Structure 1
Amino acid sequence: MKRFHVHVVVPKLDDSVRFYSSMFGAQPTVLKDDYAKWMLEDPRVNFAISARGGETGVNHLGFQVDSDEELSALRQQVIAGSVAVEDQPAAQCCYASSNKYWTQDPAGVPWETYHTLGGIPMFGADSHQSPTSEASGACCAPVASIPAVIEKKVGSCG
C-alpha cells in the first residue's frame, strides 16, 4: 500500500517539530538533530523535515511503498507514460537504506518513489550514488541526469 511522502526543508528544526507535532497531534516517529519524520495513518503520509541547508519549503514529494514488487510496478507505470526515471538501488540516506527511483514532473517538482529496507545511523551515508548524483547538502538525490525531465538539483530524500 502506498504512503504519500512530503519532505520540507526548514530553517529551525526545533520550531518546526513543535509546530508539526501540534498540527499532527503526535510526536515524530524519528527525531534527530537535523531531521524529523512523522509516519501518520490518518492521513496515510510520511512527512519529513530537515534543516540541512537548501531552499526552505517543499523539497520533494513521493510515494513510499511496502515492497520491491510494488516499487517495480510503480516504476513500470511511470515508464509506460514515457517519463524518464533515475534508479537508485540501496540508497543510504535520511537515516534509512532504501531502493528507490526519482523522476520530475513537468513543473520541475522532484518525485521520489521508494521502499525502505532498514535504518542506518547517519543522515547521508550514501555510498551508492550514481556518477550523476550529488549530495548537495543532503543525500541521495539525482542531478540533471534525466534529459528533459530532471533539470535541477534535488537536495534531500525520504
Structure 2
Amino acid sequence: MNRFHVHLNVADLAGSIRFYNELFGAEPVVRKPDYAKWMLEDPRINFAISNTGRTPGIDHLGLQVDSSEELVALGKRLEAAGGSLIPENAAICCYAQSDKTWTEDPQGTRWETFHSFGEATTYHGADAACATDGGSCTPDVQAMAPMPATTAIAASCCAPKSTCC
C-alpha cells in the first residue's frame, strides 16, 4: 500500500516538533538532532521535518511503498506521466536505507518515490559520488544526467545494489 510523503524544511525544529505532536496527537517515530518523522495511519502519511540549513518550506513530496515490486509499478506510472527519472539505489537518507526514483512535476516540485529497507546512522550518505545535494537528500535534478524512464525504473529496483546512489 502506498503512503503519501511530505518533507518540510523548518527553521525551529523543537518548536515544529511540539506543533506537529499536537496536530497529529502522536510523537515522532524517529527523532534526531536535525530531523523528525511521523508515520501516521490516519491520514496514512510519512511526514518528515528537518533543520539542515535549507530554506523553510516544502522540500519535496513523495510516495512510499512497501516493496520493490510496488516501486517498479509506481515507476511505470511515473514513466507514463513523463519527465526525467533519476534513480538512487541503496541511498542513505533521512536515517534510512532506501531505493528511490526522483522526478519533478511540470512546476518543478520534486517528487520522491521510494522503498525503505533498513535504518541508517546518518542523515545522508557521506560519499562524494552521491548525486544528492546532502542538505535534504533530494537530488539536484537539473545537475544530474537523467535516464530514459525504462532504464531508471530498472535501475531503481533491479540493478545490483551499490553503497550509494
Asked if TM exceeds 0.5, the reply is yes
Tell me the equivalent position of 1:103. Answer: 103
Q: Which residue among 122, 135, 138 is the counterpart of 1:137?
A: 135
Tell me the equivalent position of 1:89. Answer: 89
Query: CA–CA distance in 1 between the matches of 2:126 and 2:4?
Result: 23
Query: CA–CA distance in 2 between the matches of 1:117 and 1:7?
Result: 19
- Give the CA deviation at 1:77: 1.4
TM-score by length of 2: 0.82
Query: CA–CA distance in 2 between the matches of 1:118 and 1:45?
Result: 19
Tell me the equivalent position of 2:161. Answer: none
**Contact 1:13-1:51 at 8 Å conserved across structures:** yes
Residue 122 (str. 1) matches residue 118 (str. 2) = no
- Give the CA deviation at 1:55: 1.1
Query: CA–CA distance in 2 between the matches of 1:128 and 1:65?
Result: 27
TM-score by length of 1: 0.85
Query: Which structure has more helix as a fraction of its residues?
Result: 2
- Give the CA deviation at 1:141: 2.1
Tell me the equivalent position of 1:11. Answer: 11
SS of the counterpart of 1:80?
A: helix
- CA pair 77-128 structure 1, distance change in 2 beyond 3 A: farther
List gaps (5 residues or longer) in structure 1: 148-158
Tell me the equivalent position of 1:77. Answer: 77
Write the letter of the residue equivalent to 1:62. G
SS of the counterpart of 2:17?
A: helix
Query: CA–CA distance in 2 between the matches of 1:80 and 1:128?
Result: 32
SS of the counterpart of 1:137?
A: coil
SS of the counterpart of 2:91?
A: strand
Q: Percent identity?
A: 49
Residue 34 (str. 1) matches residue 19 (str. 2) = no
- Give the CA deviation at 1:124: 1.0
- Give the CA deviation at 1:128: 8.6
Tell me the equivalent position of 2:56. Answer: 56
**Contact 1:93-1:139 at 8 Å conserved across structures:** yes
- Give the CA deviation at 1:23: 0.2
**Contact 2:84-2:103 at 8 Å conserved across structures:** yes
Tell me the equivalent position of 2:155. Answer: none
List gaps (5 residues or longer) in structure 2: 147-165
| Cα RMSD after superposing both structures | 1.7
SS of the counterpart of 1:89?
A: strand
- Give the CA deviation at 1:136: 4.5
- CA pair 4-110 structure 1, distance change in 2 beyond 3 A: same
